[in-house]
């Protein structure tokens, strides 16, 4: 029958699996097959540590060996414990063997073992310290007198009474003997029945306290091993040390032998001999020789010699961050994917622990991967600064127009804006809230804290759940505190300002004239932005400017008929004054409009860039890459 050697089996395994892992052929040639079966001797034993435990039973006498006084029982237990620890007591030795013996003969894997309590319990007693052996103690209610003061007369024996004298038509006050204690001022103590003493609650009336002493212990394991033969590979010792007692799963022909010598003062010592199958090859990869080591009944890899290093490195070198298709193919390679995921999650994989891929190559793969991540991060924010600047201009003008329209539409509301609380007063308002200088919604002032902490908790949960990306705890708390501070101001401002607006009369005509000047800028921007060709952009700009001028002239022309501006002779001056009142309103609320512009610019522009970058990274079909880019949310 044809016999396939281990060398041929491993060579076939490496070539087939190497191709699947790396995507390239792994030209490994094995030679110098060396199979050895070293015989090992394991000597191990237990040092018995025995202790005495004291148990208090109060007035209850437990079952056990009666030893008179508590001190006698303690001494007997300690003497017996020393006897057990010395190995002189055969019954204790047999009991120890019954606990450990079955495990020893099957696999000698156990290390330390608790011995539980020995069957002997030594019981002793001593006079109760509370009652001195009498079994009773002074009544705490009457302090040993057997009598308590009468509650009805407070101990005087007489009580005050009143009666109405119908003959003299008056109320008469006098004292008489207490009917509860019959004038004595004392009553028999209900707790002790008048005896002045009660059962001792420490010894339950027995007069003695009982103690028991039990013996328990632990078996502390010691182990050593040695070669029984010289037929072993130089790395066998390292394999044995790395596997510890689990080595038993790799051994064959385990046999118990006689013990020779002592072992760290152990009382009970056992010895086994066993054989450890080992294999060693010389692996030639690209004209470079490396050593491959296997051991155990199932040929466990001890050191694969980095046989996949060249193939993995050929693939990893293509990961540069310059070509998405090549980077994607590299990340999809099983070996590269496993190495990166193991590094990102701090887990161990056989590919690395068994040295199929060496540490140097692993580090080089991670370095290339970090280069890819850095490249993608740079691409994700490319152009963000000019875009944020343009967005700031856009949102600033948007909120400027919005504020001006509000001021033009409700001039009385705009004139009173200086009397309302601004965002700069929010810290002062919040301080007054927390120092309970007023109560929200008519509630007691202490309810302010429930409102503040409830809003803080809600803000924190909302940021964690709905913020579009994973951010650090510091950023989460900064956003949470900002929302907690600003949300009440925003909510109350919207509510009260809406009421004020509804109570005001809108000046639609003024708004139409002033708003057309401000909104006309959007018409010019659209006329330049929408066309695609440079010459069409120029034509669009000219058309937009013409349309803007036409609108303004048209409003001026129909003004005498509709009287948008009362003083038509000074139309330009009146429109300028109209806009000036709006500018005053904007100046009064400059901080609010500025915060709105900056917030919209920062969050919306960054989010747009982040979503674009996430789409780009998602094309790589690599969850670990999304995690590395902080885009896995």
The pLDDT tens digits for 393-420 are 999 999 998 888 888 888 888 877 777 7
Specify the pLDDT at position 104: 67
The pLDDT tens digits for 150-176 are 887 877 888 777 777 766 777 766 788
CA dist 447 → 350, 452, 515 (Å): 59, 9, 45
8 Å CB contact between 313 and 366: no
Specify the pLDDT at position 1: 28
Specify the pLDDT at position 2: 33
* Cβ neighbours, 10 Å, residue 346: 6
HSE, side-chain direction, 13 A CA sphere, residue 187:
18
Specify the pLDDT at position 336: 94
Statement: residue 433 has pLDDT above 70: yes
8 Å CB contact between 586 and 403: yes
Specify the pLDDT at position 105: 61
8 Å CB contact between 84 and 50: yes
Distance (Å, whole) CA 460 – CA 475: 11
Closest by alpha carbon to 347, among 357, 358, 339? 339
Mean pLDDT score of the chain: 86
CA dist 225 → 42, 100, 367 (Å): 4, 20, 42
Specify the pLDDT at position 519: 83
Statement: residue 567 has pLDDT above 60: yes
Distance (Å, whole) CA 346 – CA 326: 26
Any residues with CB less than 8 A from the CB of 137 and at least 6 apart, and which?
130, 131, 197, 198, 199, 200, 201
* Cβ neighbours, 10 Å, residue 358: 20
In terms of Cβ atoms closer than 10 Å to its own Cβ (0-12, 13-18, 19+), residue 560 is exposed
Residue with tokens 């290093």: 309
Task: Report residue 246 as tokens.
Answer: 């689990």
Looking at the chain, the whole-number percentage of residues with pLDDT higher than 90 is 28
- Indicate the DSSP class of residue 422: P
The pLDDT tens digits for 249-284 are 899 988 888 888 888 888 778 888 999 999 999 999
The pLDDT tens digits for 445-454 are 888 889 889 9
- What is the chain's alpha carbon radius of gyration, rounded to the nearest angstrom? 47
Statement: residue 68 has pLDDT above 70: yes
Task: Report residue 398 as tokens.
Answer: 């948007």
Encode 503-516: b = buried (16+ Cβ within 10 Å), e = exposed.
eeeebeebbebbbb
Specify the pLDDT at position 527: 82
The dihedral of CA 413, 419, 420, 423: what is its sign?
positive
In terms of Cβ atoms closer than 10 Å to its own Cβ (0-12, 13-18, 19+), residue 551 is middle
| Residues 475, 476, 478: CA angle, nearest 5 degrees | 60
The pLDDT tens digits for 120-157 are 899 999 999 888 888 888 888 788 888 888 887 877 88
Distance (Å, whole) CA 164 – CA 69: 73
The pLDDT-based confidence of 117 (bands split at 50, 70, 90) is confident
Distance (Å, whole) CA 283 – CA 301: 14
Statement: residue 476 has pLDDT above 80: yes
Query: What are the DSSP calls for 212-234, one per residue?
Result: EEEEEEEEEEEEEEEESSS---T
In terms of Cβ atoms closer than 10 Å to its own Cβ (0-12, 13-18, 19+), residue 582 is buried
Helix (H, G, I), strand (E, B) or coil at 567: coil
The pLDDT tens digits for 613-624 are 888 888 888 888
Lowest pLDDT segment from 301-305, 351-355, 540-544: 540-544
The pLDDT tens digits for 498-538 are 887 777 778 888 788 888 888 888 888 888 888 888 788 88
| H or E stretch covering 362 | helix 359-380
Any residues with CB less than 8 A from the CB of 505 and at least 6 apart, and which?
412
Query: What are the DSSP calls for 290-358, one per residue?
Result: EEEEEETTTTEEEE-TTTTHHHHHHHHTT--SS-HHHHHHHHHSHHHHHHHHHHHHT---HHHHTTSS-
340 or 246: which leads in pLDDT: 340
| Beta-sheet pairing, 278-285 with 136-138 | unpaired
Q: What is the mean pLDDT of residues 75-82?
A: 91
Distance (Å, whole) CA 358 – CA 355: 5
The pLDDT tens digits for 196-214 are 888 888 898 889 999 999 9
């Amino acid at each position: 029958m044809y016999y396939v050697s281990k060398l041929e089996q491993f060579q076939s395994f490496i070539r087939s699996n190497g191709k699947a892992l790396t995507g390239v052929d792994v030209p490994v040639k094995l030679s110098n097959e060396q199979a050895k079966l070293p015989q090992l001797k394991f000597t191990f034993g237990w040092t018995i540590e025995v202790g005495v435990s004291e148990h208090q039973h109060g007035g209850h006498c437990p079952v056990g060996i009666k030893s008179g006084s508590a001190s006698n029982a303690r001494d007997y237990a300690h003497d017996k414990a020393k006897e057990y620890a010395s190995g002189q007591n055969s019954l204790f030795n047999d009991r120890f063997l019954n606990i450990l013996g079955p495990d020893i003969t099957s696999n000698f894997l156990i290390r330390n073992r608790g011995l539980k309590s020995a069957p002997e319990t030594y019981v002793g007693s001593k006079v109760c310290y509370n009652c001195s052996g009498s079994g009773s103690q002074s009544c705490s209610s009457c302090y040993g007198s057997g009598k308590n003061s009468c509650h009805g007369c407070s101990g005087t024996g007489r009580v005050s009474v009143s009666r109405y004298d119908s003959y003299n038509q008056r109320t008469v006050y006098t004292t008489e003997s207490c009917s509860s204690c019959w004038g004595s001022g004392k009553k028999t103590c209900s707790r002790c029945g008048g005896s002045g003493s009660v059962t001792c609650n420490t010894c339950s009336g027995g007069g003695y306290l009982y103690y028991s002493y039990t013996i328990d212990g632990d078996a502390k394991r010691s182990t050593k091993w040695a070669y029984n033969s010289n037929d072993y590979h130089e790395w066998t010792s390292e394999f044995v040390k790395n596997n510890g007692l689990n080595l038993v799963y790799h051994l064959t022909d385990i046999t118990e032998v006689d013990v020779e010598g002592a072992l760290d003062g152990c009382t009970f010592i056992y010895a086994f001999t066993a054989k450890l199958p080992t294999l060693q090859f010389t692996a030639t990869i690209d004209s470079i020789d490396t050593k491959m080591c296997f051991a155990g009944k199932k040929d466990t890899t001890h050191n694969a010699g980095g046989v996949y290093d060249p193939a993995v490195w050929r693939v990893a070198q293509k990961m540069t961050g310059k070509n998405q298709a090549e980077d994607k193919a590299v990340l999809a390679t099983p070996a590269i994917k496993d190495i990166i995921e193991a590094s990102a999650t701090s887990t161990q994989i056989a590919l690395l622990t068994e040295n199929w891929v060496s540490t140097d190559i692993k580090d080089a793969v991670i370095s290339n991967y970090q280069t890819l991540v850095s490249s993608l991060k740079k691409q994700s924010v490319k152009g963000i600064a000019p875009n944020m600047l343009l967005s700031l201009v856009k949102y600033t003008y948007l909120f400027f127009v919005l504020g001006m329209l509000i001021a033009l539409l409700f001039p009385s509301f705009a004139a009173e804006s200086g009397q309302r609380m601004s965002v700069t007063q929010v810290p002062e308002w919040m301080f007054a809230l927390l120092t309970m200088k007023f109560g929200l919604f008519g509630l007691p002032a202490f309810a302010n804290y429930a409102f503040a902490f409830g809003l803080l908790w809600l803000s924190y949960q909302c940021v964690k759940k709905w913020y579009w990306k994973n951010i650090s705890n510091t950023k989460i708390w900064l956003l949470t505190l900002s929302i907690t501070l600003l949300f009440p101001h925003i909510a109350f401002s919207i509510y009260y300002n809406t009421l004020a607006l509804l109570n005001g009369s809108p000046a639609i005509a003024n708004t139409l004239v002033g708003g057309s000047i401000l909104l006309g800028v959007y018409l010019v921007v659209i006329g330049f932005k929408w066309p695609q060709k440079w010459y069409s952009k120029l034509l669009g700009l000219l058309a937009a400017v013409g349309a803007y001028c036409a609108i303004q002239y048209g409003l001026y022309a129909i003004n005498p008929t509709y009287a948008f501006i009362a003083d038509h002779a000074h139309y330009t001056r009146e429109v300028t004054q109209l806009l000036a009142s709006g500018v005053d309103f904007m100046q009064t609320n400059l901080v609010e409009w500025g915060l709105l512009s900056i917030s919209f610019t920062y969050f919306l522009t960054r989010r747009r860039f982040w979503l674009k970058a996430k789409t780009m990274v998602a094309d790589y079909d690599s969850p670990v890459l999304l995690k590395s880019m902080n885009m896995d949310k």
